[in-house]
Amino acid sequence: MKPSPSLADRKRQLVVDELTEAALQTLAIKGFDATTVDEITAAAGVSRRTFFRYFASKEDVVVQLLASIGEVMCAELAARPAGETPAVALRHAVAAALADCAGPPATEGRYGGHAEKALRVVQMVMVTPPLLARFLERQAQWQDDLTGQLAARYPGDDLFAALAAGLALNALQVVVRRWALSDGAEDAQALLDRAFRQLSPALTR
């Protein structure tokens, strides 16, 4: 059973949530380039010092809402039965991450994600080069992590592990982009099912 968060953790999460919401509201009004850290902190009612205690930049305050994707995928992959095929195990791992950021509107994701905020973030990332660059940096790390897990899970072919991780993440990226372009109207999990039906032959060892 996951331990309950401490009082310090809850306070930290409250500040992070306030900063994130303030950033999203300010960025929606002024745009990414025109928004300053001072404006975000003023909207959140905190100091610059507090902001930089939690975030390195205004890019981070936005992209961090999607930061759990890699953690969720790796945790789910590690929990899958040992005898599962790569296609099935990766389908479940990606589905868990997708549920976290693209679950039903007005609900919290499995790992504390917020679908409505995530939708706004993904839409912003798609049209903001600095945010997209930061997101792709994180995705590269997720691919390394998944590759390592797959290599351990299916030993003997490191190339397959790297290719499989890349395919899974590309599927996630395409699905999330389409979900965002539809303004959340398309069923992200149904899109993922279609994507993995196409990818399954390439994930066969």
CB–CB of 205/157 below 8 Å? yes
Domain edges within the chain: 7-55, 63-203
Question: What's domain 63-203's superfamily in CATH?
Answer: Tetracycline Repressor, domain 2 (1.10.357.10)
Residue 161: both structure tokens together: 């592990």
Per-residue 3-state assignment (H helix, E strand, C coil) for 138-163: HHHHHHHHHHHHHHHHCCCCHHHHHH
Backbone angles phi, psi at 108, to 5 degrees: -90, 140
CB atoms within 10 A of CB 2: 4
Task: Provide the pLDDT for residue 155.
Answer: 92
Q: Is 37 exposed, middle or buried (0-12, 13-18, 19+ CB in 10 A)?
A: middle
Task: Provide the pLDDT for residue 115.
Answer: 72
Q: What is the pLDDT of residues 97-129, one digit of tens each?
A: 988 777 654 444 433 446 777 888 889 888 899
Task: Provide the pLDDT for residue 10.
Answer: 84
Q: If you average pLDDT over residues 2-6, what whole number do you get?
A: 68
Of the options 1.10.1740, 1.10.3470, 1.10.357, 1.10.10, the CATH number for the domain spanning 7-55: 1.10.10
Checking if the pLDDT of 17 tops 60, the result is: yes
Task: Provide the pLDDT for residue 158.
Answer: 92
| Mean of pLDDT over the chain | 87
